[in-house]
Amino acid sequence: MKNTGNLEAFLNKKVDEFNQPFFIEYDPISIPHLFSKKQDIEIAGFFAAIFAWGNRTTIIQKTKELMQRMDMSPYEFCLNYDNNSVKRLKGFKHRTFNDDDLFYFIEFFHHHYQMSDTLEAAFLKNPNNGSSAGSVVEAALIGFKKYFFSLEHLKRTEKHISSPVQKSTCKRLNMFLRWMVRSDKAGVDFGIWSKKISPSQLICPIDVHVARVARRFGLLQRKQTDWLAAVELTKNLKKLDAKDPVKYDFALFGLGALEKF
C-alpha cells in the first residue's frame, strides 16, 4: 500500500467531494430517496441496487418505471398484491431481469413483510460474531440468499442474488447494505437499520472501476475481482478508517467511474 498518510488525506478529500447531496440525483440511490417510509426505502433501494449494472441513467429510469407501476407505494403494493395488481407488472424487463423474476421478488417481499417490519431481519438469518474481515457480512449474505429463495421459484431467478458461496463480489448487495447501514451528515446513505450490522463490518462494493483504482493505490493486490478481493480491499481501507471503511467507496467509485482516473 502506498504512503498511508498521503493516501488517506487524498481519499478523504475525494470522499468529501463525492459524498454530497448532488451525488444522489445521478446515482441509483436517487430512487429510495424518493420515499420517506422505511419499508418503501428498503424495497426501492433493493430494486435499485439489484438493477445496478450497466448505464446509470438506464438503471434509474427502469427502477423508477417499476416504482410507478407500483403506484409509488412499493411497500403497500407488495404487502397487498393480488392477481389484478400483478398484471401491472407484466412485461417489465431490465437487461436479463424479466417479469417472472419480478413476480418472485414481489412474492418474497409479500412473505417477508407479513412477519417483519424491516428487511434488515432478512440479513440476520445466519449470525456470525467472528472478528475476521468479511465474516459478519459474509454470513449475512449467505443467509440472505438462502432465505430469499426459500419459497418456490424458478431456478433462473437465482442469478440475480449473489452470494460469497459463488465467490461473487456481491457488489450490488454490499452497496445496498452500505445504503441501509451507514449514515453521516452528508445524507446520501440512509442509516435506517438498527446497526446489528455496523458500518465497521460492511464490505466495500467493488466493480471494475473501484478495482482498477484500488490496484493503482496498492489497496488491492489480488488479480481476480471476486469476494476475496472485496474482503482484501476492505481490510486495507480499515487501516485508513476502522469505523467506516466503506465511506471510501465514494472516493474509489468517483475516481474510477466519474473522473476516469
The residue-averaged pLDDT of 51-63 equals: 95
- Provide DSSP, 110-121: HHHHTT-S-GGG
C-beta neighbour count of 1 within 10 angstroms = 12
Say if pTM beats, i.e. exceeds, 0.85.
Answer: yes
The residue-averaged pLDDT of 232-245 equals: 97
The residue type of 188 is V
C-beta neighbour count of 25 within 10 angstroms = 10
Residue closest to 253 by CA, chosen among 219, 217, 206, 200: 206
Percent of the chain whose predicted confidence (pLDDT) is above 70: 95
Q: How far apart are CA 257 and CA 230, in angstroms?
A: 17
pLDDT at 258: 85
Burial of 185 (0-12, 13-18, 19+ CB in 10 A): exposed
C-beta neighbour count of 206 within 10 angstroms = 27
- Sequence-ordered list of residues with C-beta below 8 angstroms from that of 168, at least 6 positions apart, any chain: 162, 226, 227
- Sequence-ordered list of residues with C-beta below 8 angstroms from that of 97, at least 6 positions apart, any chain: 50, 51, 160
Q: How far apart are CA 110 and CA 75, in angstroms?
A: 9
- List 94's β-bridge partners, or say none: 97
pLDDT, tens digit, 9 for 90 and up, residues 60-91: 999 999 999 999 999 999 999 988 888 899 99
pLDDT at 261: 80
pLDDT, tens digit, 9 for 90 and up, residues 193-221: 998 999 999 999 999 999 999 999 999 99
Task: Evaluate if residue 15 carries a pLDDT over 90.
Answer: yes
Residues 230, 169: contact at Cβ < 8 Å?
Answer: yes
Residue closest to 34 by CA, chosen among 65, 78, 79: 65
